[in-house]
Amino acid sequence: MDSVNQIKQRFEIIGTNRKLEMAIEKAIRVGPTDISVLITGESGVGKEVMPKIIHSQSHRKHHKYIAVNCGAIPEGTIDSELFGHEKGAFTGATQTRQGYFEVADGGTIFLDEVGELPLPTQVRLLRVLETGEFLKVGSSKVQKTNVRIIAATNVKMQEAIKKGQFREDLYYRLSTVEIELPPLRERKEDIHLLFRKFAVDFSRKYNMPTVRLEDDAIQLLEKYRWPGNIRQLRNTAEQLSVLETERSISALTLNQYLPHLSGDNFPALVGKNKQDDTGDFSSEREILYKILFDMRADINELKKITSNISGGVVERTEDVDLEARGLPTDSTPILSLPENRKPSIVDDYDFAEEIQEEETLSLHEKEIELIKKSLERNSGRRKAAAEELGISERTLYRKIKQYDL
């Protein structure tokens, strides 16, 4: 039986996080048994390496190891893929086909995204786990298989069970032993190590000098939440390696490659009134949105006032506080203004026109500023910018043409 360090070297696992090492230790211990294992964790944490570790430590290591992505197989064909089919079982079944459970007899099957399995297939899988028996599609002959099943999911299984999307009995058969992998945000001490490893890999792959992070970039790297986990970190390292001409990466440069889809993904502010050099773009965006909404409400209110005054009619409405603005509050509409009208009414009308013009111009400028900043943060990628702004890509394209950005 291999040690944790030997496994880490063999499978190129980077990191010293205690939760990660505990998961590896558990995989090593269950390896020699035939216990079913369920691996849980967020998407992108590296769940696919755990079944390989378990298989390598088992007596099945010289037999087949098959990994199946259950979420990538259409519902209509998944039974045929897993259990095989007889000739003529359905349209297009021109010959008998072996399924994965038949091919992997004596070995290990890894069912990735097992939470995506349709309910009828879950019933078939439960039978395999309990008796080792299965039926090919279109066959009445029971076949036996001796496979070890390891499953993985990023679905919260208890919620799926409550919603009737996953069988509770199958869950307990799959999760005899459960191994949970921590998300990257809980492995802060490993983030820079992983980045350096990826940077070296891509420098060799693309035959160019290795990118290096400056101190402020390392701090930003460790503060970011990494919703896509290791997969996202690897993609970021590849983009920096290929796109940046400078090999020394600052926090400002790195920030342009980090998609900021929600406030939770942003680095925390340091101090009460002080923000780090990268800026708190999330707070800035929220403030700008609030300003825009407030301005829109003010403009609509002013439009009502100016429209009524310009038409010679001032009506009392629920949306406009006429008394606070010095306007008549009589419930009877005023059809004509008296000759000795107060100058404040005319002044209010002129002021409203001026404010409306200024606010409209300000809205226009703010919209252009928001679009420019979003495009800069997303390196000109319109799809990412549109998602960040909360509009469709077609609308963003139209506005880019409209404002000649």
pLDDT at 262: 47
pLDDT confidence tier of residue 289, bands split at 50, 70 and 90: low
pLDDT confidence tier of residue 23, bands split at 50, 70 and 90: very high
Say whether 40 sits in a helix, a strand or coil. Answer: strand
pLDDT confidence tier of residue 369, bands split at 50, 70 and 90: confident
Same domain, yes or no: 229 and 332: no
Q: Is the model's pLDDT at 335 over the cut of 50?
A: no
Q: What percent of the chain has pLDDT over 70?
A: 75
pLDDT at 404: 75
Same domain, yes or no: 225 and 294: no
Average pLDDT of the residues of the chain: 82
Q: Is the model's pLDDT at 272 over the cut of 90?
A: no
Same domain, yes or no: 162 and 213: no
Last residue of a domain, one of 224, 247, 279: 279
> Alpha-carbon Rg of the chain, whole angstroms?
31
Q: Is the model's pLDDT at 332 over the cut of 70?
A: no
Q: Is the pTM of this model over 0.85?
A: no
What's the rounded mean pLDDT across residues 333-345? 44
pLDDT at 273: 41
pLDDT confidence tier of residue 363, bands split at 50, 70 and 90: low
pLDDT at 259: 87
Could you read off the pLDDT of 64-93 as tens digits, one per residue? Answer: 999 999 999 998 899 999 999 999 888 888
pLDDT confidence tier of residue 35, bands split at 50, 70 and 90: very high
Q: Is the model's pLDDT at 154 over the cut of 80?
A: yes
pLDDT at 48: 95
Same domain, yes or no: 290 and 367: yes
Same domain, yes or no: 122 and 8: yes
pLDDT confidence tier of residue 280, bands split at 50, 70 and 90: very low
Higher pLDDT, 308 or 371: 371
Q: Is the model's pLDDT at 306 over the cut of 90?
A: no
Same domain, yes or no: 256 and 395: no
Question: Which domain does 200 fall in, by range?
Answer: 185-279
Q: Is the model's pLDDT at 271 over the cut of 80?
A: no
What's the rounded mean pLDDT across residues 140-148? 95
What's the rounded mean pLDDT across residues 106-115? 96
Q: Is the model's pLDDT at 155 over the cut of 50?
A: yes
What's the rounded mean pLDDT across residues 208-214? 96
Q: Is the model's pLDDT at 304 over the cut of 90?
A: no
Q: Is the model's pLDDT at 317 over the cut of 60?
A: no
Element of type H or E holding 77? none
Same domain, yes or no: 271 and 226: yes
Last residue of a domain, one of 260, 279, 298: 279
Q: What is the largest CA-CA distance in the chain?
A: 103
Pair 7, 24: CB distance under 8 Å? yes
pLDDT at 230: 96
Same domain, yes or no: 360 and 389: yes
Encoding tokens for residue 65? Answer: 């190891």
pLDDT at 405: 75
Distance, CA of 241 to CA of 254 (rounded, Å): 11
Q: Is the model's pLDDT at 39 over the cut of 80?
A: yes
The 8-class DSSP code of residue 87 comes to: T
pLDDT at 388: 79
Beta partners for 37?
A: 150, 177
* CATH number (domain holding residue 173): 3.40.50.300
Same domain, yes or no: 192 and 245: yes
Q: How many domains does the chain have?
A: 3
Same domain, yes or no: 251 and 332: no
Distance, CA of 336 to CA of 132 (rounded, Å): 92
What's the rounded mean pLDDT across residues 364-381? 80
Distance, CA of 144 to CA of 130 (rounded, Å): 12
Could you read off the pLDDT of 214-229 as tens digits, one per residue? Answer: 999 999 999 999 999 9
* CATH number (domain holding residue 271): 1.10.8.60
Last residue of a domain, one of 256, 279, 302: 279
pLDDT at 156: 92
Q: Is the model's pLDDT at 310 over the cut of 60?
A: no
pLDDT at 206: 94
pLDDT at 394: 74
pLDDT at 345: 42
What is the amino acid identity at position 309?
Answer: I
Strands 97-98 and 108-112: unpaired
Distance, CA of 383 to CA of 275 (rounded, Å): 28
Distance, CA of 134 to CA of 149 (rounded, Å): 14
pLDDT at 197: 96
pLDDT at 398: 76
Higher pLDDT, 332 or 216: 216
Same domain, yes or no: 20 and 102: yes
Q: Is the model's pLDDT at 277 over the cut of 80?
A: no
pLDDT at 309: 57
Same domain, yes or no: 63 and 177: yes
